[in-house]
A and B are shown apart, each in its own frame.
Chain A
């Protein structure tokens, strides 16, 4: 019913090989590596819980076939950061502003916020809302998330 192949890619900076089925998605591939921060929720690329950064671009892990990351640079929420205690400015800002409740969607918001601030270091509130519109938070910590993005921008500036 299915075929498998071996792929090689970089996972959070380290080389990895994996045996994957052609029907498996990136979330399943990462679970096989013991990483559970990218989570399949809506399975339609609508909620952002499964966000993974592939070759510098945030993608929906649930819609990305595992075999497609062969040779790619894959980064996840588990990647240790340079900042204090292994957390970057965005993670610290999310903690300080209390920008999550259950935490299930939080990795996706953090990865998207990093990408936003890389492209636009000083986003307006409208730009923040526009950029994060593809991530859902059922606890609706949105007001705090907006504050967290603002704080992270400030922290990054130093």
Chain B
């Protein structure tokens, strides 16, 4: 099939490839079990690593005895921090703080922290050897709660070590005896004055629990020390970051570290920055052989989690429900290592007042170290915690003032062109469209029957709730792409975006096909390989469609321009000559390439310190709303979510079918975080680190009715009108269900997860017969 360049349709409004629900480009590989994951990789001479982990939450290490493990036949090596430091004198890593050691040095800061590593050709031998290691600890007081961490005498890190990457962390350098890893403040107007003048002031405190990503492919990394390079094959969402950070640790130039990423068996924000890579890389260099570490499901519970948070929110409201002022304090439980927590604190912190038009706003947001497993980014980057608080708060105000939940939102939402709390004006943010569409699909203005069906009458009460949230895309971040046209007219896209199931390979193929005006079947993706795919900040925060989509489109346009020029040079028209004929005329045979390059970083203005004000906080806004209907059994507190309606603004969907799967997938994941998932701890030890005891949603947990819709919107600054979608479905789920429960039985829950027991306690309390704790 000889393809010809299509017409340049950058300014068009109808498209050939964008907007089509084609199957994923890797669909066949995935249904035959042949898709490539790091999980599959075995190299000649490869050793398997198994980790010996801390059993205490906070302690000085007095000694680690590895002698018996070293003696076990089949063990190749056992390493502790002392061995690591022979190669890397300061082996601390992290995206925001250089606070995390490759193996624990002097101190352990959470249960499950890696203390020693065993290498053996047989993983079962390595596992047996780990059991023969022992450590002697002098236990220190530990702190687990984020509020206590603010003033606790137990200090997780003696000295703060910001990485230097982010300007707003620099002032923390060398700070001692504090658990506060970042404090972010925003001031707009004068909230205190407005409270004094308001008819009503409401204040509530909300809590969210620590949960985790649980990708079904647990963390896995292979490092291969070749003569000229260290090659790292890793299930990572951020290959460029891994290369830069490993090169920094080793003191090597970037081009001596090669990071390759095939498909991921799920990521959800877990597989970002450095996870196993530093340990595996250094172990492979020490051993002089390839090393692989695959975590077990249990170990996954100690690698990275989602922040538990306490959120206090206070609003001054007029008699008719207009929100005049809002004060938010948020404490994020970051665990023992900062990971990307300080970014969550700031980048999500500034949307804490919600998608509402409020003149007087005050926000204080704190990232805290505690002696729990580290918390990082998880599908929403702090937003689901914030939406949980501000939307529950909104409905509690509405109820107190006897205003309808839809009416109070209509009265207060941020409309197009109005300033958000940072002062940035809202553009292409379909808050109103999403809210109105949700109201319509829920038939909100029709009477709702709170009685159960005939056979349940007496014990079942029905209720409904709505919630809406928004998120600013993290900014500023960079993506670079290469589009390589071969002499037969087939096209490869080199980009470091990682397809972890969200469908980015397919989306990029559609965007490039559209920009070149060629069939999408002519385009393939080169998977992340830092030797050949250029820099990308990371696959996170729903940024790839917009940022990498832009870069890929620019690269395709560059390739198109070069192809047009080449055709002109040889006296042909690129628009009527099949691409292979242009190459043949130039090179006399099927030879040569056209390489287009695109690089994208959106405009951005950093927030003013102290006030958080900026005219340009983000390149685009993501909007998501959920409506829920529930049935609650008044005798037991048990409840069932019978209907979920999820409405989002994703701009123009590149692939509507994949977008819908993203919306419902995000919603169902958040349903788990709302109803069943909670990491349980005993002195810092996770007591339910197994899928038997930590319940993620199964197929029977899907509500009987689920509706997903992307409203008709265009992100004018986006590639072909598109923007991100991966997280928007999570925003409204938790507060919508909590409000529906309140609507059904008058019980307002303020802590996640929402359980039958909590509802039952509320019912008993309402009846004047509270249960004892």
CB-CB < 8 A to A106: which residues of B? 30-31, 33
CB-CB < 8 A to B24: which residues of A? 98
Q: With A and B bound together, what is the CA distance between A37 and B268 in angstroms?
A: 22
Max count, chain A CB within 10 A of own CB: residue among B30, B35, B218, B690? B30
Q: With A and B bound together, what is the CA distance between A142 and B703 in angstroms?
A: 11
Q: With A and B bound together, what is the CA distance between A106 and B27 in angstroms?
A: 10
Q: Are B697 and A140 in contact (CB under 8 A)?
A: yes
Q: Would you call B165 an interface residue if the criterion is a C-beta within 8 Å of the partner chain's C-beta atoms? A: no
CB-CB < 8 A to B40: which residues of A? 36
Q: Are B661 and A138 in contact (CB under 8 A)?
A: no
By beta carbon, the residue of chain B nearest A140 is: B668
A103-B698 in contact given A37-B32, A138-B215, A138-B216 (Cβ < 8 Å): no
Q: Are B699 and A142 in contact (CB under 8 A)?
A: yes
Q: With A and B bound together, what is the CA distance between A46 and B665 in angstroms?
A: 20
Could you say which of B178-186, B259-267, B274-282, B352-360 contacts chain A? B259-267
Q: With A and B bound together, what is the CA distance between A135 and B34 in angstroms?
A: 19
Q: With A and B bound together, what is the CA distance between A136 and B692 in angstroms?
A: 12
By beta carbon, the residue of chain A nearest B36 is: A36
By beta carbon, the residue of chain B nearest A134 is: B698
Q: Are A102 and B215 in contact (CB under 8 A)?
A: yes
Q: Would you call A68 an interface residue if the criterion is a C-beta within 8 Å of the partner chain's C-beta atoms? A: no
Which residues of B, 235-279, contact A by the 8 Å Cβ criterion?
Answer: 263-268
Q: With A and B bound together, what is the CA distance between A37 and B35 in angstroms?
A: 8
Q: Are B33 and A37 in contact (CB under 8 A)?
A: yes
Q: Are A41 and B699 in contact (CB under 8 A)?
A: no
Partner of A49, one of B30, B124, B216: B216
A44-B691 in contact given A138-B669, A142-B702 (Cβ < 8 Å): yes
Q: Would you call B482 an interface residue if the criterion is a C-beta within 8 Å of the partner chain's C-beta atoms? A: no
Q: With A and B bound together, what is the CA distance between A28 and B698 in angstroms?
A: 26
Q: Are B699 and A146 in contact (CB under 8 A)?
A: yes
Q: With A and B bound together, what is the CA distance between A43 and B691 in angstroms?
A: 9
A44-B664 in contact given A136-B216, A138-B268, A143-B702 (Cβ < 8 Å): no
A: number of interface residues (CB 8 Å):
55
Q: Would you call B706 an interface residue if the criterion is a C-beta within 8 Å of the partner chain's C-beta atoms? A: yes
By beta carbon, the residue of chain B nearest A38 is: B33
Q: Are A78 and B32 in contact (CB under 8 A)?
A: yes
Partner of B263, one of A85, A91, A103, A142: A103
CB-CB < 8 A to A44: which residues of B? 297, 690-692
Q: With A and B bound together, what is the CA distance between A135 and B503 in angstroms?
A: 22
A102-B668 in contact given A44-B690, A143-B702 (Cβ < 8 Å): no
Residue-by-residue, is A1-23 near B (CB-CB < 8 Å gives 1, otherwise 0)?
11000000000000000000101
Q: Are B217 and A143 in contact (CB under 8 A)?
A: no
Q: In the assembled complex, how far is the CB of residue A152 from the closest CB belonging to chain B, in whole angstroms?
A: 11
CB-CB < 8 A to B124: which residues of A? 2, 21, 23-24
Q: With A and B bound together, what is the CA distance between A138 and B297 in angstroms?
A: 13
Q: With A and B bound together, what is the CA distance between A69 and B650 in angstroms?
A: 50
Q: With A and B bound together, what is the CA distance between A36 and B70 in angstroms?
A: 31
Q: Are B699 and A104 in contact (CB under 8 A)?
A: no
Q: In the assembled complex, how far is the CB of residue B508 from the closest CB belonging to chain A, in whole angstroms?
A: 16
Q: Would you call B214 an interface residue if the criterion is a C-beta within 8 Å of the partner chain's C-beta atoms? A: yes
CB-CB < 8 A to B669: which residues of A? 138, 140
CB-CB < 8 A to A135: which residues of B? 698-699
Partner of A136, one of B500, B690, B691: B691
Which residues of A, 125-158, contact B by the 8 Å Cβ criterion?
Answer: 128-130, 132-133, 135-146
Q: Are A36 and B692 in contact (CB under 8 A)?
A: no
CB-CB < 8 A to B7: which residues of A? none
Q: Would you call A72 an interface residue if the criterion is a C-beta within 8 Å of the partner chain's C-beta atoms? A: no
Partner of A130, one of B125, B664, B668, B700: B700
CB-CB < 8 A to B661: which residues of A? 98, 101, 139, 141, 144
Q: With A and B bound together, what is the CA distance between A129 and B704 in angstroms?
A: 11
A142-B297 in contact given A47-B216, A85-B28, A136-B696 (Cβ < 8 Å): no
Q: Are A42 and B217 in contact (CB under 8 A)?
A: no
Q: With A and B bound together, what is the CA distance between A134 and B185 in angstroms?
A: 47
CB-CB < 8 A to A23: which residues of B? 124
CB-CB < 8 A to B657: which residues of A? 98
CB-CB < 8 A to A49: which residues of B? 216
Q: With A and B bound together, what is the CA distance between A1 and B125 in angstroms?
A: 9
Q: With A and B bound together, what is the CA distance between A87 and B32 in angstroms?
A: 8
Which residues of B, 678-733, contact A by the 8 Å Cβ criterion?
Answer: 690-692, 696-700, 702, 706
CB-CB < 8 A to A87: which residues of B? 28, 31-32
Q: In the assembled complex, how far is the CB of residue B705 from the closest CB belonging to chain A, in whole angstroms?
A: 10
Q: With A and B bound together, what is the CA distance between A49 and B23 in angstroms?
A: 22
Q: With A and B bound together, what is the CA distance between A96 and B232 in angstroms?
A: 35
CB-CB < 8 A to A128: which residues of B? 699
Residue-by-residue, is B31-53 near A (CB-CB < 8 Å gives 1, otherwise 0)?
11111010110100000000000
Partner of B35, one of A1, A103, A140, A141: A103
- Between A and B, 24 residue pairs with Cβ closer than 8 Å are A35-B33, A37-B33, A38-B33, A39-B37, A41-B216, A46-B691, A77-B33, A78-B34, A86-B32, A95-B23, A98-B24, A101-B501, A101-B662, A102-B217, A103-B35, A103-B501, A104-B217, A104-B265, A107-B33, A135-B699, A139-B665, A140-B668, A140-B702, A144-B661
Q: Would you call A110 an interface residue if the criterion is a C-beta within 8 Å of the partner chain's C-beta atoms? A: yes
Q: With A and B bound together, what is the CA distance between A146 and B218 in angstroms?
A: 26
CB-CB < 8 A to A77: which residues of B? 31-33
Closest 3 CB pairs of A and B: A37-B33, A102-B501, A104-B265
Which residues of B, 527-581, contact A by the 8 Å Cβ criterion?
Answer: none
Q: Would you call B26 an interface residue if the criterion is a C-beta within 8 Å of the partner chain's C-beta atoms? A: yes
Q: Would you call B197 an interface residue if the criterion is a C-beta within 8 Å of the partner chain's C-beta atoms? A: no
Q: Are A133 and B700 in contact (CB under 8 A)?
A: yes
Q: In the assembled complex, how far is the CB of residue B500 from the closest CB belonging to chain A, in whole angstroms?
A: 6
Partner of A139, one of B501, B691, B699: B501
Q: In the assembled complex, how far is the CB of residue A26 from the closest CB belonging to chain B, in whole angstroms?
A: 14
Partner of B503, one of A101, A107, A143: A101
Q: Would you call B296 an interface residue if the criterion is a C-beta within 8 Å of the partner chain's C-beta atoms? A: yes
Q: In the assembled complex, how far is the CB of residue B748 from the closest CB belonging to chain A, in whole angstroms?
A: 28
